[in-house]
Structure 1
Amino acid sequence: MRSLTLTDWLFISTVLAIWVLLFYHVILTFAGYRRFVASFSEEENSPGISLESYPTVSVLVPAHNEEQVIGRTVEALARLEYPKDRIEIIVVNDSSTDGTGNVLAEKQKVYPFLKIVTINPPLGAKGKSNALNQGFLASSGEYIVIYDADNTPERRAVRRLVERIVNDPELGAVVGKFRTRNKNANILTRFVNIETLNFQWTVQAGRCSLFGLTTITGTNFLIRRSILEKIEGWNIKALTEDTELTVRLYDEGYYITWVPDSVTWEQEPEKWRIWIKQRTRWARGNLGVINYYIRNIFKLRNKRIAGDIIYFFFTYGIFFFSILVSDAIFLLGLLGRSNLTLTGPFTIIWFMAYAMFIFESFISVNFESGEGTFLNLLLICLMYFTYCQLWLFVVVKATISAISDRISGTNARWYKTERSGG
């Protein structure tokens, strides 16, 4: 029996790693379907409390150079179906150099209840976490709700979040759903729309159904004031403050759940340049959180969140490495430079993986009314070779940036996504 080469072993390892994650996501997809069915049950849709007993809520919106979108966001927040004497809306104008301040001043004339907190350097311009902390200091609600400056929540979005959490003291935060408002702008926004639906109905709904795990997203989530006071707010060093907050909240002994009937609509990047900057920040922030907590994995008191850290470490580490290695072996093979000696139905294996990707992605988009279209099926087929492969570039870029800053001693800067005026 001939011995296997190093390339053979690398190929076997990468194929196994890729298929492990594929199977796991298929399991999550079916768990997401179970969560989808449960969302129509009477228990999920019935309010937890009567209208008269609603608690006080503070809605925080961090805004840095958001002239293009902040007006529409304020108008959507003003239309929220929530007792007006029980809700305060606070926009944090974080060192904006455009017309954000002027837009807010005009909106305040129309909506006198709008509270504007303006912060300038050196207190301001330190990223979203810092802006949220400043807004939190100016708030008074028993619960804190976060929306990004480009969001237009549906009228009942906050009510649904409150109704889910108020009678469960072990529930520390609840996360609503976000949808792509400008999905028809171009092919990029169509890709992003599919990606966000896949993430929410597979990763969010699936993990919530199987393990009781939900990741806080950067918008449309509610958290108890008492918890923020206990953990001293958001970590200003975290580029992905939502992921980092998720880990700390679970480790404090609380849990988080996903509420799909609380919906907000957000504007996604319409230019590839902006998308790459945004996703590089996300990747770098997530890599930072993973790196910190994987080194302190045994210090985490909550074993479920420790398992989730391992899952994300597998995704950003082992799976990422496996994709790079398998692509390299494939390219070297085309050039006749690979010493892969294994033989087998590798083309069939690849087509099976491709089919599984299409299968799980198309199932997840079908959970949303009107999204299970033939066009989206074609886009999913195309995404595998284009949009998804850019994830490799983004992670490599984020890794190089992190290493460079580590060597030079430079602190990472928080990049705010540029908006379009559409």
Structure 2
Amino acid sequence: MTGLIQGISNILDGYTLVYPLIMSIGWAIGAIFFRQHVQNSTDEVTLPSNTINIMISVFNEEAIIDDTLTALYQLSLPNVSFVIVDDFSTDNTVEKIKNFQTEYDWRALTLVEMSQNGGKARALNYALKHVNQAEFVLVIDADSIIDPNAVEYLLAEFDQAQIGAVTGKPVVRNRSTILGTLQSFEYMTTIDGIKRAESYLFESIMSVSGVLVMYRTEALEAIDFFDVNAMTEDIDVTWKLYQHGYSVKYSPNAISYILAPETIKGFLAQRKRWAIGGVEVLLKNLRIIFKHPDTFKTFLLGEMIMGHIWAWSLAFSFVKLIFIYLATGELIAKITVLLIYIILTMVVSLIGLVLDRHASQFTLRDLRVWPVFYVFYWGGNFIASISSEIAIIFGQKGNGTWTSPDRGI
């Protein structure tokens, strides 16, 4: 029995060490090869001939809504209209939108005011059913400042009828704190790299980015729009599209500049919400693995499962390390493994910096977070995975209503 326990312990220790290494290498290789398959280039951007609605659901965003409205108003695009759905804000958000619309005589903008707070998904569904008449709808968040060419880049990817959605690349624009800079580095190197790798290796991505995603309207209608009970509507709608035979693509040239949480509380709340949404989708789609196996989708779901197993193996290894220290006074640390981690992190991050091509406007000053980034990323994943599973066990689900998130301002 002792030998069996020791064997299991060694397996968990090995998995704890090896999983991040293998995933990092896989992401790096996939991201590099994906670059060769990006169809768009800055020379191929053309003005859209299709009708498009740019849609935002807002709740208590008075602090940032003026910047977003200004950026949208300055877009010089034909066949594009704008819809803002206010989800019963209790601050001056609606007043600011109306004042802006009046000041600039912005007739392309439609403001929809919900009679009660029901959540982002419910607000978007209402607008999609009662206002949207365009072929495509671009959904962005209230803090999204989209690049002038983003719409064209996204639309260019809809070259086949089965493509239901195309998502773009978020770039964090607030870096006044170490936490904000770390997230900027994460989006630039890891999140972008993972989506590139998934696109190349699996011809699919785990989730669209809700801050910048264009949908084919008929695809949203086919899946009965967004699930109002989902914790995170973006990952949920991605897999609903897959279930109905649609493809989802990633366009790293389409950029949206966003605000990230700059408080620990706001950051952890965001990551916990993301993780719960991921677990919900995993549970909903397990039948893909067992009933109707799709190689690429199975790999994506399998990677999510492996990530949660890794979180628990890390917890086990950490507790074991503490017990060994308390019993012997020795702290066992494998210097060679740590050095490999550090070197690999620097290589993966460097690849991300090169692929970014300065789109994130990262500076030498921002690189001060480089030495601790690896701990930040995997540590954040660990906390999010464990907390999401505990939340699911105790019945926490999406409840429809929302609070305005920590925008880091």
What is the match of residue 194 of structure 1?
185
Query: Which of 132, 147, 159 is matched with 1:139 structurally?
Result: 132
Shift of 1:147: 0.4
Q: Distance in 1 between matches of 2:194 and 2:120?
A: 24
| Structure 1 residues 185 and 300: CA distance shift in structure 2, 3 A | farther
Structure 2 counterpart SS, 1:236: coil
Give the equivalent residue in structure 1 for 2:5.
Answer: 6
Shift of residue 60, structure 1, vs aligned partner: 0.9
Q: Deviations over 1:301-352 (max 9, x none)?
A: 644223211111211x211112111222222222127999xx9x94323432
Is the Cα contact below 8 Å between 2:171 and 2:256 reproduced in 1? yes
Q: Which residue of 2 aligns with 1:35?
A: 34
Please give the root-mean-square deviation of Cα atoms over the aligned residues, in Å. Answer: 2.8
Counterpart residue identity of residue 398, structure 1: S
Q: 380, 383, 388: which is aligned to 2:373?
A: 383
- The gaps in structure 2 that reach 5 residues or longer are none
1:222-301 alignment runs, 5 A limit: 222-294=214-286, 297-300=289-292
Q: 1 CA distance for matches of 2:300 and 2:51? A: 32
1:222, distance to aligned residue in structure 2 (A): 0.8
Pick one of 154, 162, 178 that aligns with 1:161. Answer: 154
Match of residue 58, structure 1, among 40, 53, 61: 53
Shift of 1:413: 5.7
* Cα distance per residue 1:230-265 (max 9 Å; x no partner): 110001111111111111212222212211111110
Q: Secondary structure of 1:80's match?
A: coil
Q: Deviation per CA, 1:272-299: give whole Å up to 9, x if none.
A: 1111111111111112211222256334
- Name the stretch that deviates more: 229-238 or 396-405: 396-405
Cα deviation code 1:114-133 (max 9, x no counterpart): 10011122xxx222111111
Aligned match of 2:382: 392
User: What are the within-5 Å matches in structure 2 for residues 167-182 of structure 1?
Assistant: 167-182=159-174
State the distance in 1 between where 2:145 and 2:270 align.
Answer: 20
Identical counterparts, % of pairs = 22
Which digits, 9 at most, give the CA deviation of each residue in 1:5-63, with x for residues without a partner? 51442232342354144213312212212223544x7x544547x64x61000111010
Contact 1:19 1:353 in 2 (8 A): no
Structure 1 pair 319–175 and aligned structure 2 pair: CA distance change class (3 A):
same
Q: Report which stretch shifted further, 243-252 or 302-311.
A: 302-311
Residue aligned with 2:155, SS: helix
Asked if the contact 1:82–1:159 (Cα under 8 Å) also holds between the matched residues in 2, the reply is no
Q: Does 1:77 align with 2:72?
A: yes
> SS of the counterpart of 1:257?
strand
C-alpha distance in 1 between matches for 2:318 and 2:394: 25
TM-score (normalised: structure 1): 0.86
Residue aligning to 2:395: 405
CA separation in 2, counterparts of 1:373 and 1:23?
Answer: 29
- Mapped to 2, the partners of 1:141 and 1:347 lie a distance apart of 58
Write the distance in 1 (CA, Å) between the matches of 2:278 and 2:284: 10
2:171 aligned counterpart, secondary structure = strand
Q: For residues 360-405 of structure 1, give each alpha carbon's deviation from its aligned partner in whole angstroms, at most 9, with x where no partner exists.
A: 2332233223467655554132133456424333333333333233
Count of aligned pairs between the two proteins: 403
* Structure 1 contact 81–159 (Cα < 8 Å) conserved: no
Distance 1:301 1:385, change over 3 A: closer
Which residue of structure 2 aligns with residue 113 of structure 1?
108
* Contact 1:161-1:222 within 8 A present in 2 as well: yes
TM-score w.r.t. structure 2 length?
A: 0.89
Cα contact 2:272–2:387 (8 A) shared by 1: yes
Aligned residue type for 1:418: P
Q: How far, CA to CA, are the matches of 1:206 and 1:412 in structure 2?
A: 33
Matches within 5 A, 1:301-340: 302-315=294-307, 317-336=308-327
Could you tell me whether the CA contact under 8 Å between 1:70 and 1:103 is conserved in 2? yes
Q: Which amino acid aligns with 2:32?
A: Y
Distance 2:300 2:85 in 1: 32
Cα 1:318–1:395, aligned 2, differ >3 Å: closer, same or farther?
Answer: closer
Distance in 1 between residues matched to 2:82 and 2:362, nearest whole Å: 36
Contact 1:240/1:285, CA 8 A, preserved across alignment:
yes
Structure 2 CA distance for partners of 1:322 and 1:399, relative to 1, 3 Å: same
Identify which range, 396-405 or 373-382, moves more after superposition: 373-382
Q: By how many angstroms is 1:101 displaced?
A: 0.8
Unaligned runs of 5+ in 1: none
